[in-house]
Amino acid sequence: MADLTSSPGRILPSWNPWLARYRGLVGLLLTQALSLTGTRVSAVALPWLVLTTTGSTALTGLTAFCELGPYVLAKAAAGPFIDRIGPRRISLLGDLVSAAAVLAVPIAHAAGALPIWLLLTLVAITGSVRGPGDAAKVAMTPDAADDARVPLERVTGLSGAAERLAITAGPALGAAAVAAFGPATALVFNAATFLLSAAATAFAAPARREQPAAPTAADADASADAGSGADADAGYWRRLGNGFVFLRSDPLLATAVGLTLVTNFLDSAWSAVLVPVWVRQHGLGVGAVGAVFSVMSAASVAAGLLAAWLGERLPRRVTFLAGFVIAGAPRFLVLALGAPLSGVLAVCAVSGFAAGFLNPILAAAIYERIPRELVGRVISVADAVSWAAVPLGGLLAGAALGAVALGPVAAVAGLAYCTATTLTGLRPQWRELDSATVDV
């Protein structure tokens, strides 16, 4: 049987060197964009399905939790499997199982056999396999850069632009599908995107390369085990622990993950609760919510493409820290001040443009610091920790708005965002952003 994870270059004709060089990069961008687009379709269709069939907001929230909780836990636990089995196999398996679990929802609904416990089970299965699949896609980035022979900043910039495009297009596609076919049938589109993502992974995604990254200042035992091959013979918990040890022992990575943990929590409150409440209080329709998110996402796409073009010429530390300050607090403060829609859209456009530079810069620095044998584990752990507080953002913001008006809640959140980004930005670890690696 053919090995779908073997190097794709071996089946390419020698007369097309351009395709041989960039095939892995194109495959990576396709699989990331397709799977994330499907996820965004599901984010519209699933809550609407639960709300319209049960009428319960509590069950609607529980459905989201049943997907996100397993997603975070499985992503953290998947690192050793990604490094040992290979990210292409894990990505492929995650997409195929996700497609089957998602497709089971409209089939069961059409048959009149979709009790809430079955829906929650299918949602939990989807989250459990999507977490490792997403982490595996991220872990393929250094290999795509190696195959294409382009700087990591360029690849991470293109990846960020593809992600933002999916974030923009997915909700629109989901809303249109729900309106045209109903929420259950709309999930068929989600399953289709997972299958297309699996095809892109199987036939075009980059194969794993074995050369290690340059050494960093992280824990010597973890990197020594990985480099010597001892890590490959260790048990699961030892290999998983090496990912935690490396992340904790690298000052820059630990600081970056701590900052994103806080900002992701606040971003969740902004998008899930504060923006919809602001729209409702101003007597605007749901289209205003879409406009806010679309403007911000479109500006982020433009910035991601610019980051890919400028690549390594950008001053990392200054661009990253300035981008965080501009992308964060102003979005909250403009809601607190009760600005009109035009003002909010203008601020979101600027904030989105600044945000578009963040992931390309940070991702490039992270990949340069992690030995190739540890990429899956460290990325999985870092992503899981960064997402850990996301479910609480909307929950706590909703509770706060039950007792306090929107203005004070948004102002406090904006102040917290400003404090987190500015105080963390003063830490000396950020100077290491401007150097690819750290000598040991």
Domains of the chain with CATH codes: 13-150+170-209 (1.20.1250.20), 214-440 (1.20.1250.20)
d(Cα 230, Cα 225) in Å, to the nearest integer?
5
> What integer pLDDT is reported at residue 334 of this predicted model?
93
Predicted structure pTM score = 0.68
d(Cα 69, Cα 128) in Å, to the nearest integer?
8
Q: For residues 308 and 153, is the Cβ–Cβ distance under 8 A?
A: yes
> What integer pLDDT is reported at residue 330 of this predicted model?
93
> What integer pLDDT is reported at residue 15 of this predicted model?
46
> What integer pLDDT is reported at residue 349 of this predicted model?
93
Q: For residues 87 and 140, is the Cβ–Cβ distance under 8 A?
A: yes
pLDDT digits (tens, 9 = 90+) for 278-302: 877 888 865 677 678 778 888 888 8
Residues lower than pLDDT 70 in the chain: 1-19, 56-58, 60-61, 153, 207-234, 285-287, 290, 311-312, 435-440
Q: For residues 92 and 4, is the Cβ–Cβ distance under 8 A?
A: yes
> What integer pLDDT is reported at residue 243 of this predicted model?
80
> What integer pLDDT is reported at residue 18 of this predicted model?
66
CA end-to-end span of the chain: 45
> What integer pLDDT is reported at residue 57 of this predicted model?
57
